[in-house]
Chains A and B, each alone.
Chain A
Amino acid sequence: MKHMAPADRKAAFHHVMRAAILIGIAFYIVYLQTTGKLTLYIAPRMTIYVKIASLALYVTAVFGIYEAFRLLSKPSAADCGCSHAMPSSTLRSALAYLLFIIPLGIAFLTPDTTIGSAMAANKGMTLSASQSLQQPADDGQAAELPGTEESDTAISEDIDASTTDSELAAEPSDTTAATPSPESGSAPAADSIDALFPSDEYTISYANLGKKLYQQETIVVEEKRYMEILTALDLFLDRFVGKTVTIEGFVYRDDTLTNNAFILGRFAVSCCAADAMPYGVMVQTDHPEQYGNDTWLRMTGTLATTTYNGNEIMLLQASKTEKIEPADDPYVYPNYDF
């Protein structure tokens, strides 16, 4: 101990500093997880990796502390003879560690919030959710009637599946769908409904979803199929005009909107909040000025269409608007088996 090289003591100090920072990061992840805030940053399907990482950080930190103790207790024990990449000057090492400590401290001490309308303005609100399904060359025309001879066979095979599905679908949609007319799912109705929802191989799942939604008294744009339902409504917009739709989300406005309209939407997150894309519906209501940006609302109304930037998009003419608490998990996620 007495003959311990100053370099060893310095190295031990750095090992401890690093271990402290690693444990700090690991603890931050555990804190986010236990308070349920991890999904404010990371999509649920990715959280497992972050949790494993916190464990790995912890293990790495423990080895660092062990190494520090070894260096302190046994003089000149640096077994690889080279120590590690320890910064040599105090200023440099202070800078390097502060680069971790300051953000970590700020992250810990400031409240965890969500991104809202300010971010939506930067990212650009998607008002035509079916855009990604449309062939670029067709400029949206194809989406109107994509069904042709070849896809008709696929659809007729699907009749049975879709009718039984629609009865199933009526059950979980909790609100007004409790009174679906039982006849609506019968075979002749299914025949005519198939004609209303032509599809090709890319839009078949949205057409099937559209058929289910079409038979509901009130279409609830539910959280777990938010993007998918908006896409189906947008893709077969003509069919849904006049239908009653209920949707939740935050209020968003920008200067392209006229006075009595705003947009109600949510962020769809694929991996982490950095890749969030806002999806929304244009709504019209009486006295819209009472609802400020980022207010969460549940709105029910009749679906209509309007023109925005030269495109035909859906417009919800709200008849009922209520303020709600922001959802526990503010984001929606792509649902691949809807």
Chain B
Amino acid sequence: MPGSIAKYALHAITAPLILLLFFTMTGRGASLFDSFAFTAAQWHNMKTVFVSIFLEALPFILLGSLVSSALHLYVSEDMVRRWLPRSPLLGIIYACALGILLPICECGMIPIMRRLIRKGMPVYIGVTYILAAPIINPVTYAATSMAFPANPSMAAMRLALAFVVASAVGLVLFRTVRRNPLKADAGGQAPAHRHEHDHDHAHGHADTHDHEHDHVYESAGRKAAGVFTHAADEFFEMGKYLMLGAFLTACVQTFISREDLLTLSGGTFGAHAFMMGFAYLISLCSTSDAFIAASFRGTFPPSALLAFLVFGPMIDFKNTLMLLSVFRGRFVAQLIALVTAAVLILSLILNKLM
């Protein structure tokens, strides 16, 4: 499959280019080779960050794979349709609130949402959930209020802003998305069915058929075993992107210092843009990023910290790669642009109000 090799090659070329651009822009182009003369300490830092992100995300991505796989085998499209509200507005509110019941972070929910979208869940509901759930849940609320002991409104405002951003993006997607944004090579078809169509199918179906087929298992036990084999498929598909994301994040954390980045920020707009860019680069989980945000308290206004706290869990390096594994590149780009604009504008408005 030359297409996917090209894609990997593209990733491999893009990442160093971004770094190169950064070093050039911060005037470190000359010392570029010095910074790549790997010291032992840098190597240790990189390994520590890589392994810790991977291990931290592992339980959630595995849970997501297992749940997605169970949905695949046990939940029919009709059931999904029955659970969902008909009105789009209600559906969006429902998607925002679902995180309270299903507090899984983004690593775990992307495979689940892909599955549900394949099962007929409207795209705007699935994406709204992916955006909202990492923030609108009790665990993140508690972690945020602990990180801002002197400013308890921070946690509430984080949730409120996330709600507004997620539902705004959801509404825009409801209005605009007509085409199935799931990736072409996986689109319409379950991932399990996109390869090896040359071998015998017990029951043939057209490749373009836009729903999942029913599995015919010999027994309930075999079906339960199927949950695990399908979960392994999902795990490896998502895991590739997690590996790449963790690696790039480890590079960023090792080679780019906060001080250097701070020189790029200036003024109110700069502060908000910087905090969002920083959130994107460091790719932390929504339960632990509040402490990092708190460390910027002396430097930036609270609305910039909110921009960090809302943007990071919705869109970051790690989850961009994971979104790309599910959705078409164009859709992901549009989604990132939408979320960026929404968070930036709303946090700047908040800055004026506060």
Taking beta carbons and an 8 Å cutoff, which residues of A are in contact with B? Answer: 5, 7-8, 10-11, 15, 18-19, 21-22, 25, 29, 38, 40-42, 46, 49-50, 52-53, 56-57, 59-61, 63-64, 66-67, 76, 78-89, 91-92, 95-96, 99-100, 103, 106-107, 110, 112-119, 121-124, 126, 128, 131-136, 140, 202-203, 268, 270-275, 277, 294, 311, 334, 336
Q: Within 8 Å CB of B298, what residues of A?
A: 128, 131, 140, 311
The smallest C-beta distance from A307 to any residue of chain B, in angstroms, reads: 14
- Complex partner residue of B216 from A66, A79, A272, A336, CB under 8 angstroms: A79
Asked if residues A107 and B51 are in contact (CB atoms below 8 Å), the reply is yes
- Complex partner residue of B295 from A59, A64, A124, A136, CB under 8 angstroms: A124
B112-120, B243-251, B264-272: which one contacts chain A? B243-251
Q: Within 8 Å CB of B54, what residues of A?
A: 103
Complex Cα spacing A221 to B138, Å: 32
Asked if residues A274 and B62 are in contact (CB atoms below 8 Å), the reply is no
Interface members, chain B 266-305 (any A CB < 8 Å): 282, 284-285, 287-289, 291-292, 294-295, 297-298, 301-302
Q: Within 8 Å CB of A92, what residues of B?
A: 1, 4-5
Asked if residues A83 and B218 are in contact (CB atoms below 8 Å), the reply is no
Complex Cα spacing A19 to B213, Å: 26
- Complex partner residue of B44 from A52, A83, A114, CB under 8 angstroms: A114
Asked if residues B239 and A274 are in contact (CB atoms below 8 Å), the reply is no
Asked if residues A124 and B258 are in contact (CB atoms below 8 Å), the reply is yes
B95-103, B165-173, B200-208, B328-336: which one contacts chain A? B200-208
Asked if residues A100 and B243 are in contact (CB atoms below 8 Å), the reply is yes
Q: Within 8 Å CB of B50, what residues of A?
A: 103, 107
Q: Within 8 Å CB of A116, what residues of B?
A: 41, 44-45
Complex Cα spacing A80 to B1, Å: 24
B16-24, B79-87, B143-151: which one contacts chain A? B143-151
Which secondary structure characterizes the binding site on chain B? helix
The smallest C-beta distance from B244 to any residue of chain A, in angstroms, reads: 7
Asked if residues A270 and B291 are in contact (CB atoms below 8 Å), the reply is yes
Q: Within 8 Å CB of B74, what residues of A?
A: none
The smallest C-beta distance from A105 to any residue of chain B, in angstroms, reads: 12
The smallest C-beta distance from A217 to any residue of chain B, in angstroms, reads: 29
Asked if residues A85 and B62 are in contact (CB atoms below 8 Å), the reply is no
Q: Which residue of B lies closest to A107 (CB)?
A: B51
Complex Cα spacing A247 to B45, Å: 24
Q: Which residue of A lies closest to B39 (CB)?
A: A118
Query: Scoring B residues 178 to 217 as 1 if CB is less than 8 Å from chain A, else 0, what string do you get?
Result: 0000000000000111111011111100000000010111
Interface members, chain B 29-63 (any A CB < 8 Å): 39, 41-45, 47-56, 58-60, 62-63
Q: Which residue of A lies closest to B252 (CB)?
A: A122
Asked if residues A64 and B232 are in contact (CB atoms below 8 Å), the reply is yes
Asked if residues B196 and A83 are in contact (CB atoms below 8 Å), the reply is yes
The smallest C-beta distance from A106 to any residue of chain B, in angstroms, reads: 7
The smallest C-beta distance from B190 to any residue of chain A, in angstroms, reads: 8
Asked if residues A122 and B146 are in contact (CB atoms below 8 Å), the reply is no
Q: Within 8 Å CB of B8, what residues of A?
A: 95
| Residue B256 at the chain A interface, CB threshold 8 Å | yes
Asked if residues B295 and A272 are in contact (CB atoms below 8 Å), the reply is no
Given A106-B47, A115-B45, A275-B288, A46-B56 contact (CB < 8 Å):
yes
Asked if residues B302 and A7 are in contact (CB atoms below 8 Å), the reply is no
| Residue B76 at the chain A interface, CB threshold 8 Å | no
The smallest C-beta distance from A93 to any residue of chain B, in angstroms, reads: 10
Can you name 10 extra interface pairs (CB under 8 A) apart from A7-B200, A103-B50? A18-B236, A53-B59, A61-B232, A67-B225, A80-B215, A85-B194, A119-B253, A132-B294, A132-B295, A274-B49
- Complex partner residue of A64 from B53, B143, B228, CB under 8 angstroms: B228
Asked if residues B149 and A118 are in contact (CB atoms below 8 Å), the reply is no
Would you mind naming 28 contact pairs between A and B with Cβ atoms under 8 Å apart? A10-B196, A15-B229, A56-B62, A66-B225, A76-B200, A79-B216, A80-B202, A81-B200, A83-B199, A84-B229, A85-B237, A88-B196, A92-B1, A100-B239, A115-B45, A115-B48, A115-B49, A118-B254, A119-B41, A119-B254, A124-B258, A128-B298, A131-B294, A270-B143, A270-B287, A272-B52, A274-B49, A274-B249
